[in-house]
Structure 1
């Protein structure tokens, strides 16, 4: 294969891309690799300061909108703004997610009463489901409004290996939300393939991001996750860029309904 053919296979130049929750962490990595490939990227994030900083650092055709992905009206308006500015929407990363609170165990193996089911505040549960599950529905719904008339597109959803296991140190609503996301992705792939829209999910294992207050930067907390990895470390956001580019580019053109694990082998060890 020639270098020109390889470049064409992974070409995203000029593509109109949206990344939800893209001001930091995995979402920022998606935005960076798309912008580095020549795409026009709009980041949605609820954090104005983080959004401004990320947009400025990425540069190029990257811009941002302050959006709460739980606000359906705001999401619809934000999608319409991207379509008006770029002329279309080609690729959407439904990435926004939150830590829904503590699990019922601590990383060192003691019970955590704050995460016990009887002590979980209802609004904490509701917000966890709203952002980690319902916002994916809202994102896909708005993406499809624009992709169907254009004849196709790519939707990449950030799920988690937590969708495949039960994890005691993660907030209780997180696992069922991500498991439902996986089913939703496969269902959307069934519905939307006829319209040229591919829908896939990335299932990260532990990555160093700001989620859960950035606790994986703390050595003691990180150790519990490092011990699960088959390669002795947890993920850096740079590790996920290649997979994101694959799914967003012609190289992934025969992939839809796929749940792609990227976790250093953690899921194998845990199961």
Structure 2
């Protein structure tokens, strides 16, 4: 297999949830740049319009479009998948990326107790919303991807998890870690179930990246320093740095990889 063939995704039909910004947008960009046709699913209507317009203006008009949908709305999500299959003919790869911040942790980066992050004072609807999007939304995305990929003989599902699935954080909202731990288990179980249908399920586990999910917090010097201190490289990653791994998992290069959880965190989880 030549290098060109190994990483070829030209003509593939791709869905990216949460693709209007951050890591999701990086997934969209690399897929479009390499010749795929991408539909972005996101609840941020303004962000969707801007992203589609900007990518089109960069020289790939017609290769990217969008549907405004919240991944926690199961019926709307299923309808969106059906619409993509009708327009693009099939669904070859799905990036289950949509997620949201869980609010403050029980400690501030300075080590003080955070009044809004205590387990006995954090809003219950905040817990519910994080689990609905970050875990159940991934389940619904995998479910719809599998439904379509079984009909066409296989495909790739790439889930965005987090190193927070394995490493607890005192200054990250309590709901975030169990949601991502559930995602990790879900990926492994789905990989076992769907391999028989030629559907490969893998997960990318980022460490600290500059994205909207933590973008507001990173304006605070103490918060930024806390995330930078986790990395062995002493910095927060740019979404550009995740593109190579995304392309690998969506392309023939990873044809014997399923159930894998690939960490990209600058070594931050080694601090344990």
TM-score normalised by the shorter chain: which range applies? over 0.9
1:34 aligned partner: 31
**Contact 1:29–1:240, Cα closer than 8 Å, also in 2:** yes
Determine the C-alpha separation between the residues in 2 that align with 1:144 and 1:44: 17
Shift of residue 121 of structure 1? 1.1
- Return the TM-score normalized by structure 1: 0.97
Shift of residue 194 of structure 1? 0.6
**Contact 1:208–1:214, Cα closer than 8 Å, also in 2:** no
Count of aligned positions: 267
**Contact 1:209–1:216, Cα closer than 8 Å, also in 2:** no
Structure 1: runs of 5+ lacking an equivalent: none
Determine the C-alpha separation between the residues in 2 that align with 1:102 and 1:226: 17
Worse-matched range after superposition: 210-219 or 73-82 = 210-219
Determine the C-alpha separation between the residues in 2 that align with 1:225 and 1:218: 11
1:243 aligned partner: 245
| Residue 154 of structure 1 pairs with residue 151 of structure 2 | no
Q: What do residues 51-107 of structure 1 show as CA deviations (whole Å, max 9, x unaligned)?
A: 000011112210000001110000000000000000000000000000121110111
Out of 170, 183, 189, the residue aligned to residue 172 of structure 2 is 170
Q: What do residues 133-191 of structure 1 show as CA deviations (whole Å, max 9, x unaligned)?
A: 00001000101111001000000000000000110111101000100100000000000
- Return the TM-score normalized by structure 2: 0.96
Shift of residue 201 of structure 1? 0.4
Q: What do residues 192-251 of structure 1 show as CA deviations (whole Å, max 9, x unaligned)?
A: 001000000000000000113532244331111111111111111001000000000001
1:47 aligned partner: 44
Please list, as runs of the form range in 1=range in 2, the aligned pairs for 1:12-27 lying within 5 A after superposition: 12-27=9-24
**Local SS of the residue matching 2:19:** coil
Out of 169, 174, 185, the residue aligned to residue 187 of structure 2 is 185
Determine the C-alpha separation between the residues in 2 that align with 1:225 and 1:49: 29
1:63 aligned partner: 65
CA RMSD of aligned residues (A): 1.0
Worse-matched range after superposition: 157-166 or 54-63 = 54-63
Determine the C-alpha separation between the residues in 1 that align with 2:147 and 2:52: 26
- Runs of at least 4 residues off by over 6 Å: none
Determine the C-alpha separation between the residues in 1 that align with 2:264 and 2:250: 16
1:125 aligned partner: 127
